[in-house]
Amino acid sequence: MIRLSAQDASFLTLETRDAPMHIGFLLTFKLPPRAPANYMQKLHARLERMAVDAEPFNQRLVQPEGFKRLVQELEPDENIDLQYHLRHEALPWPGGERELGLAISRLHSTRLERTRPLWECTLIEGLQPDRFALYLKIHHALADGVGLMQHITQTLAESPRGLSLAPWTAPVASTPPPKPTTSADEEWRRFFETLAAERNKPKSEKPAGSTVPRGPRCILNGDSTGRRRFATTSVDLRRVKAVAKAAEATVNDVVLALASGALRGYLQEFDRVPKDPLLASVPVALPRVPGTTIGSSVAAVHGSLATDQKDPRKRLLAIRDGMRAAKEEFKRLPTSVNRFINSVGMYAMTLLPRKQSTDPDKATFTNLTISNVPGPKEALYLHGAELEGMYPVSVLAGDHRLNITVLGYREALFFGLIACPDTLPSVQRIAVRLPQALDELEAALGLAPKKAVAKKVVAKKVVAKKAAAKKAAAKKAAAKKAVAKKVVAKRAVRPRGAVVGVEAPAPVVPATTEVVAMPEAGTA
């Protein structure tokens, strides 16, 4: 049995119908050239033959309705029905980004079934032109964005002819279960008790001023329902890097500045821009406890979005300086346990469900979460199909109605925006404004997009990198094959139809050698 950390357990105990606590990824793939009509059916059958071997996909909750509020344990599920977890759908005509966005919105609006392993995977066909999608959903108690991303990328192939596995099939030997970090959990429980006591205090006992920075009140915060609307966009990572260089800022600073610009325009359209700047919660990945693969390992810093600044350049510089200060403060925290407790507490606090009240002391902590998940630099493949885009589908924290999470894959940044459409209208309008904010930043900094030149440089780099990567890929593929053999052997003894073997994907030659994927900045 695996005992979940107090933080992960809280994602289960805090979950309500209006505050579901699962995260996901949307992957879009190009169909291989000359893919047969039954390509998707075969891919589905192939994935259905993959054993559920990898943690946490093979684990279920020991106490679905646990009476101990902060303790949750996992145990291996010996009777997993993969037909339940792996689904297969199609988009209605015309099968564009809008139909895909609506499908993901629907899939992300339902909670996971607590009597089964806490994940679902949906294959979605009919995405035009000549594409398909895969949506993977898992409870935040079992994985964070970084962890789920690793599961996905480790099981995809590095070439069209490479062997790809399913995320729930272990590509490497499973790591030993983590030791319960009892002392940390005890500290953390005390933190929660203090927080609860603080909330229940009559108002007069509270200190007059708070040192915790708070975001201004606006349409981005308040009650929400469990319904979700998903929107996407993407921008050229090289353009973002050029902006960062010109402003002596980080890529993450520029991402925050894009969000800032998009939100200013959106608030002007639907509400009003608050006098004080919006405050973002920016998750920071923490080093994992060695030997653990399950659960979240994340803290958060608070960064101003400088939405009070009209000038895009000044906004970026203010964001940059604010984030530098926040990170300095974060580093000054006592290390080891103390730092862990503080930072985890900060992140968990943002996830606590809160109602917006008229009492300014009870105003929101932060206005939204803006997260950045590192992704693979090289092209990946599933059953011969090239991974085109990879969009995070995240969770709404506390009284947030919006989350913007970004993933870098190859030479693009993929934005996944998740919102509650019952309380925050037309999140697509924010997605549309993100690339526009990049145009504005470039103009303000005197930069012109140099697409053609940049492409050539990258293409050269790619050729060199490809040769170097080839050897490493061959090695990894051999390891995967060994696992696949084990998997098949394991499945073969199960009483489930004819399992002949893991079918090798048909040899596929990409139609073009252009490696730099640059999807249109569209919205779903």
Closest approach, Cβ 474 to its own copies, in A, equals 34
Residue from 227, 324, 455, 465 touching its own copies (CB under 8 A): that is 227
Residue 115 makes contact with its own copies by CB under 8 A:
yes
Q: Which is nearer to its own copies, 123 or 152 (CB)?
A: 123
Q: How far is the CB of 381 from its own copies (least distance, A)?
A: 21
Provide DSSP, 101-122: HHHHHHHHTSPPPTTS-SEEEE
For the annotated catalytic residues, the residue numbers are 140
Burial 78-96 (b: 16+ CB within 10 A, else e): eebebeebbebeebeeebe
Q: Pick out residues in 406-435 that bind its own copies (CB under 8 A).
A: 422
Task: Give whichever of 62 and 102 is closer to its own copies, judged by the CB atom.
Answer: 102
Among 225, 250, 342, 436, binds its own copies (CB under 8 A): 225
Under the criterion CB under 8 A, does residue 126 sit at the interface with its own copies? Answer: yes
Listed in sequence order, the residues at least 6 apart from 202 whose beta carbon sits closer than 8 Å to its beta carbon are: none
Of the pair 91, 294, the CB lying nearest its own copies is at 91
By CB under 8 A, name the one of 16, 33, 38, 194 that touches its own copies: 38
Q: Return the H-helix or E-strand segment holding 41.
A: helix 39-48
- Which of the stretches 5-13, 95-103, 382-390, 470-478 binds its own copies when contact is defined by CB under 8 A? 95-103
Among 418, 444, 441, CA closest to 431 = 418
CB-neighbour burial class of residue 186 (10 A; exposed 0-12, middle 13-18, buried 19+): exposed
Query: Is residue 98 involved in binding its own copies (CB under 8 A)?
Result: no
Shortest Cβ distance from residue 163 to its own copies (Å)?
24
Residues 352-411 that bind its own copies (CB under 8 A): none
The b-or-e profile of 286-298 (16+ CB within 10 A means b, else e) is beeeeebbbbbbb
Least distance in angstroms from the C-beta of 126 to its own copies? 6
By CB under 8 A, residue 84 contacts its own copies:
yes
What is the H or E stretch that residue 69 is in? none
Q: How far is the CB of 522 from its own copies (least distance, A)?
A: 18
Q: Which is nearer to its own copies, 87 or 241 (CB)?
A: 87
User: At how many degrees (to 10) do helices 237-246 and 428-444 cross?
Assistant: 50
Q: Is residue 89 close enough to count as binding its own copies by CB under 8 A?
A: yes
B/e letters for 132-170, b = 16+ CB within 10 Å, e = fewer, are bbbbbbbbbbbbbbbbbbebbbbbbbbbbebbbbbbbbb
184, 301, 307, 352, 418 from 298: Cα distances, Å: 15, 10, 26, 15, 19
Closest CA to 426 of 305, 307, 271: 271
- The footprint of its own copies on this chain (CB under 8 A) covers a number of residues equal to 28
Give the nearest distance from C-beta 88 to its own copies in angstroms.
5
Answer yes or no whether residue 130 interacts with its own copies by CB under 8 A. no
Task: Tell me which residues touch its own copies (CB under 8 A).
Answer: 37-38, 40-41, 44, 81, 84, 87-95, 99, 102-103, 106, 110, 115, 123, 125-126, 225, 227, 422
